[in-house]
Structure formats: structure tokens, C-alpha cells
Amino acid sequence: MGRPVTLFTGQWADLPLETLCKKAREFGYDGLELACWGDHFEVDKALSDDAYCARKKELLEKHDLKLFAISNHLVGQAVLDNIDVRHKAILPDYVWGDGDPAGVNARAIEEMKNTARAAQKLGVSIVNGFTGSSIWHLLYDFPPTPKSMCDKGYELLAERWNPILDVFQDCGVKFALEVHPTEIAFDIYSAERALQALNHREEFGFNFDPSHLIWQGVDPVEFIRYFPDRIYHVHMKDASVTLNGRTGILSSHLSFGDQRRGWDFRSVGRGGVRFEDIIRALNACKYTGPLSVEWEDSGMEREQGATEAAQFCKNVDFSPSNRAFDAAFGD
């Protein structure tokens, strides 16, 4: 099919965008998915400087790189989260402000509205990101959790995200939630409930990422089949389950990269994700957008990994058949 293979810049925000553009082209990528942190794409500057978006597009064109989406995971996280000191490290200063939780939530809501406006100015129709969750801490049902407490989490999703999605609708942009632990949707059933809470509005869909599903025991292919019309963007990212009888799937409060963990991220093609099956499922649901590599592997040099991942994605992708393999038997 020749879907474009792009590189998500979020894990490369330590590099100036111009440096990364040059490297991405050398790695073999067709485009970038710009993160809204570092100097890669700054929402406030996009709206305050009329030439900002044009300069970004010129830089990408200079390196023959395409752009299909931007991503604002970090600010999106603060829309629904119960804010604490951890959020200061991931938010722009003007969103964090004085750190008052209600104020942070409110400023994050406005920044996500502005992200839709900035995407429109840039000429992209997809914003990937997180929603956060006010009920993630209720995941384990002890002390016993009244159903009403979880219900309030989805009610808050509707209360805070519908006004954001109204702006997305006005701008002709869609929001693609990366289904992920710590989000309001982290598996098939919670994703279904999120859609229900938002009345299945078209502005809200998913950034499909298999790496966050397999370690939970969720089949990524089943996710695609369950939501075929809501796959708005795709992350190519791998993970490996490494349970050894000492650690559990909750990873024992061990950091990524610690070999004692029960699972960890791997360079694309080096973990447990069945990418060929995913391509077949994407073909079946007629997804034609980019395959965007979100490269994470604490045990591998990233430039080698990113280069290898670009080629892997191009090799594993293929077009669906336009005829039955046995169609000639009756000729």
C-alpha cells in the first residue's frame, strides 16, 4: 500500500527540529509527527506569530518530509488528571502557572482548544494526545469502589472534553486519543465507554498504539476490529512481556529499562507485537494514513533503532488484494 512512515518527535525533543529533520530523512522516514513540546511545535507561537506555521512547513519541505498530525499528549494529560507535583515537569510554564490544581485543569482545557486552532493554521487534520483520567487511581477495586465513583470519571470526560471537541469540530480537526494506561480509555471496554460518554461524536477517535495493549493482555487486532471507523492515526511501537516469576505485570515500581520489570518497550520489530496481523486489520478497515514510529527502547541506541524501525515498517506494510487468489481457477 505504501503508507507513509513517519517519526513521532516526542522522544527526540532534546534535538532542535532542524537537526531532527535532517536525521529523520537520513534514517529513511517520509515525514514527521510533530510533538507540541521542545521547539518542534509550540502552540502559543503558532497562534501569536502569523509566520510560524509557514516556517515549520518550509523546514519540513526543505528536507522532503511530510506532515499528517501533531501531538499534544502532555497538556491533554492535565485536562482530567488529579494534578500533583509530577505534572509540573511535563507542562509549559504558562499552563502550570501557580500549580493550583483547578487552575492547571482549566488552563490545560484552553490549551487543547488552542491546539485545534494551531493545527488548523498548520494545515493538519489530526491531533493525537492523552485525555488524562480522574479515576485511574480506582483501577484496583479496594477499598471497594462504588460504581458511582467510576461513573463520575466518565461524566467529567464529557464535561471537560465536549467544549474542547466543539473547537475541534469548528476547526475541522479530529482528536485521536492514544489508548494507554493512566487515560480514561486504556482497553477496549474503557474505550467503548469513553465513546459513549461523548455520544460517539466524530471529532473523537483513537491513535492506535499496540504496545500499550499487549502487556495488558489485550489483542491489538481485536481493538482495530472493534473500532474500525475510529482509527484516526497509528503508532508503530513495540513491547515485550518478560515475566520471570519474580515480578508481576504491574512492574514492581521499577523504572523503564530496569531488566527486572515484567514488561518493557522494545524497538519496533523486536518485541511481541504481531505487526503483520495489524497491517491486515488496518487494510480491512481501509486505514490509509501514516504508520508513525514512536521509538522507545531503553536498551538500544536510538539512531540505530530509529533507522531499523523505518525500514521494518516499510517492509511489513502491504496492499490488500484486489482479487481472490483462486479467481483464475475457473478461467
Domain 5-330 has CATH 3.20.20.150: yes
What's the pLDDT score for residue 1? 58
DSSP at 146: P
Q: How far apart are CA 149 and CA 32, in angstroms?
A: 40
Residue 34: helix, strand or coil by DSSP? strand
Provide the CA 320 distance to its chain's centre, in angstroms.
Answer: 25
Residues in CB range of 7: below 8 A, 6 or more apart: 24, 27, 29, 31, 32, 33, 292, 293, 295, 306, 310
What's the pLDDT score for residue 96? 98
DSSP at 172: T
* Contact indicator for 265, 213 with CB cutoff of 8 Å: no
* Contact indicator for 305, 295 with CB cutoff of 8 Å: yes
What's the pLDDT score for residue 327? 73
Residues in CB range of 144: below 8 A, 6 or more apart: none
Spans of all domains in the chain = 5-330
CA distances from 111 to 47, 76, 160, 220, 288 (A): 11, 8, 12, 31, 29
What is the residue-wise DSSP string for 220-280? HHHHHHHSTT-EEEEEE-EEEE---SSS-TTGGGPPTT-TTSSEEEE-TTSSS--HHHHHH
Q: How far apart are CA 104 and CA 17, in angstroms?
A: 28
Q: How far apart are CA 103 and CA 36, in angstroms?
A: 20
With a cut of 70, list the residues of the chain below it in pLDDT: 1, 330-331
Give the angle 156-70-223 at the CA atoms, nearest 5°.
Answer: 60
* Contact indicator for 233, 126 with CB cutoff of 8 Å: yes
Give the angle 53-110-38 at the CA atoms, nearest 5°.
Answer: 45
What's the pLDDT score for residue 295? 98
* Contact indicator for 296, 237 with CB cutoff of 8 Å: yes
Task: Say which amino acid occupies 306.
Answer: A
